[in-house]
Amino acid sequence: MTPEDARLAYEHGAKGIVVSNHGGRQIDGAISTIEALSNIVKEFPEASLNGFEIYLDGGIRSGL
């Protein structure tokens, strides 16, 4: 999921999103969900200000 995906969901009336890379561990080049969440929050900050809910589905690979 990208910030653009989140913005499109918001603009089309979604009340929130689930940031997930379901099966991402199968693809070496996939970013972790925490990286995707960070990108969404940085590039689409107005989402949380307007009550748009963002949930995270696992995917934290390390604390580094």
12 is catalytic: no
* Options 8, 14, 16, 22, the catalytic residue: 22
Say how far apart CA 38 and CA 60 lie, in whole Å: 12
Instruction: State the burial class of residue 27 (Cβ atoms within 10 Å of its Cβ: 0-12, 13-18, 19+).
Output: exposed
The residues that are catalytic are: 22
